[in-house]
Structure 1
Amino acid sequence: MAKRAFVTGITGQDGSYLAEFLLGKGYEVHGIIRRASTFNTHRIEHLYVDPHVSGARMFLHYGDLVDGARLASLLSTIRPDEVYHLAAQSHVRVSFDEPEYTAETTALGTLKLLEAIRRLGLSCRFYQASSSEMFGASRLPQNEISPFHPRSPYGSAKAFAYWTACNYREAYGQFAVNGILFNHESPRRGETFVTRKITRAVARIRAGLDEHVYLGNIDVIRDWGYAPEYVEGMWRMLQADAPDDYVLATGSGYSVREFLTLAFDHVGLDWERYVRFDDRYVRPAEVDALVGDAAKARSHLGWHPRVQTPELVKLMVDADISALEAGGRHWIDRPALPGWSTAPS
Structure 2
Amino acid sequence: MMQAPLAYRSILLTGAGGFVGRYLVPALRSRMADDATLHFMDRTGSAPVDLLDPIGVHDLIERVRPDLVVHLAAQSSVGQSAGKAADTWRVNVGGTVNLAQAVATVSPECVFAFASSSEVYGAAFNHGTVTEETPPLPMSPYARSKRAAEDALSDILGENNRLILFRPANHSGAGQDTRFVLPAFAKQIACIEAGTIPPVIRVGSLTAERDFLDVHDVVDAYLRVLAAPVMARKTVFNIASGCPVPIGRLLEILLTLTTKGVTVEQDPARMRESEVFRTSIASDAIRNEVAWAPLITLEQTVADVLADCRTHRRKE
Aligned letter for 1:207?
A: A
Structure 1: stretches of 5+ with no match in the other structure: 36-58, 334-345
CA contact (8 A) 2:54 2:99 kept: yes
Aligned letter for 1:301?
A: V
Distance 1:102 1:13, change over 3 A: same
> Across the two proteins, how many residue pairs are aligned to each other?
301
% identity of equivalent residues: 24
Structure 1 partner of 2:118? 132
Structure 1 partner of 2:294? 305
**Cα deviation per residue 1:126-171 (whole Å; 9 max; x = unaligned)?**
11111011011213322211221111000000111122233346x6
When the two structures are superposed, what TM-score results if normalisation uses the length of structure 2?
Answer: 0.87
Separation of aligned partners in 1, 2:31 and 2:211: 28
Q: Does 1:111 align with 2:111?
A: no
Structure 1 partner of 2:248? 257
The counterpart of 1:165, out of the listed 136, 153, 178, is 153
Q: Does 1:33 align with 2:24?
A: no
**Cα deviation per residue 1:227-284 (whole Å; 9 max; x = unaligned)?**
122122122223332241101111111222111111112224565x14441525748x
Q: Does 1:222 align with 2:213?
A: no
CA contact (8 A) 2:66 2:107 kept: no
How much does 1:73 deviate? 0.9
CA contact (8 A) 2:8 2:68 kept: no
SS at 2:241's partner residue? Answer: coil
Separation of aligned partners in 1, 2:259 and 2:134: 40
Alignment map for 1:1-345 (pairs within 5 Å): 3-26=9-32, 27-35=36-44, 61-138=47-124, 139-168=127-156, 172-211=159-198, 212-241=200-229, 242-243=231-232, 244-269=235-260, 273-279=263-269, 282=272, 286-324=275-313, 327-328=314-315, 333=316
Separation of aligned partners in 2, 1:278 and 1:141: 31
SS at 1:88's partner residue? Answer: coil
Distance 1:101 1:192, change over 3 A: same
CA contact (8 A) 2:13 2:41 kept: yes
Distance 1:69 1:204, change over 3 A: same
Distance 1:278 1:71, change over 3 A: farther
Separation of aligned partners in 2, 1:84 and 1:275: 41
Structure 2: stretches of 5+ with no match in the other structure: 1-6
**Cα deviation per residue 1:279-336 (whole Å; 9 max; x = unaligned)?**
25748x7433223211111110121100132221122223323443xx33xxxx3xxx
**Cα deviation per residue 1:54-86 (whole Å; 9 max; x = unaligned)?**
xxxxx7642222211111111111112211101
CA contact (8 A) 1:125 1:238 kept: no
SS at 1:320's partner residue? Answer: helix
CA contact (8 A) 2:190 2:310 kept: yes
Separation of aligned partners in 1, 2:8 and 2:288: 28
**Cα deviation per residue 1:165-201 (whole Å; 9 max; x = unaligned)?**
33346x6231111001111110121122111111122
SS at 1:30's partner residue? Answer: strand
Distance 1:159 1:274, change over 3 A: same
Separation of aligned partners in 2, 1:66 and 1:270: 48
